[in-house]
Amino acid sequence: MQGRSTGLSLMPTGFEALGSDGLRDMIQYLCADALQYRIINLQTAFTANSQEGIYANRQSKRESLRFKQFGIVRVDGIPFEIAHPEKSQTGKNVIVLKGGSGYSKRYPRKVIATTNVRAKRIHFLGGVGGWAWPFGGDKFKGRDVARFTLHFEDGHTEETVFRNGIEFADYNGHANVPGSREAPEIVRNGQVRWFSVNVKQDGIIKTIALASFDNEVAPTFVALTAQTR
């Protein structure tokens, strides 16, 4: 399924007081905001159910991302969609890739999602992992943990590698890293982070691929949003 509009409401009550000119300007502003972002559908890429344990074992429900709410959330003005596992096509709602130890070694190393969008920037909600920094100390800091690849309609690709302790930090706690920022009020304990990647090529992105390096970290992604050109 392709990226889709955020579906944000454009007409809160009380706006009639702005008058025709003010209302027109406000609608133009709100429409521009709604059309600026396209939420990327990750239904076919989800590998785990956040209402279960997602790292060491499925029974340990505290070893997961315990979301405060599902649906559209805004982080620094960027809309992300946190899928509900019970409304998901597969009963899964987050991407955990192979790595770490225990149950997380059963996940796939690579997932692919269809996009069909022209974007200037991709925003990520996730940036955490099982056994990510500071777990294990600084000897694993800077280690590659995930590869993000854009596949364009014309056959070109763009690749970005995310690193432990740079973009990614441990889900359990509030460890800060320079390449991402904590997204507040998303989970009940621990953290979820967000960061962005600029898209260099101006073209239709057909698919995106996320892959792990199957090392000490099980990288985790919650949602992706494209900022359109």
Residues 172-181: pLDDT tens digits?
Answer: 999 999 999 9
Report the predicted TM-score, pTM, of the whole model to 2 decimal places. 0.86
Is 93 part of a structural domain of the chain?
yes
60-93 pLDDT per residue, tens:
999 999 999 999 999 999 999 999 999 999 999 9
Is 4 part of a structural domain of the chain?
no
Domain range for 171 is 20-228
Is 1 part of a structural domain of the chain?
no
Is 176 part of a structural domain of the chain?
yes
Is 219 part of a structural domain of the chain?
yes
CB under 8 Å, gap of 24 or more: what pairs does 29-37 form?
A: 33/8, 34/5, 34/6, 34/7, 34/8, 34/10, 35/5, 35/228, 36/227, 36/228, 37/6, 37/78, 37/79, 37/225, 37/226, 37/227, 37/228
Is 9 part of a structural domain of the chain?
no
Is 5 part of a structural domain of the chain?
no
pLDDT at residue 20, as a whole number: 61
To the nearest whole number, what is the mean pLDDT of the chain?
Answer: 90
Query: What total of structural domains would you count in the chain?
Result: 1
Is 15 part of a structural domain of the chain?
no
Predicted confidence band of residue 35 (pLDDT cuts 50, 70, 90): confident
| pLDDT score of 2 more than 60 | no
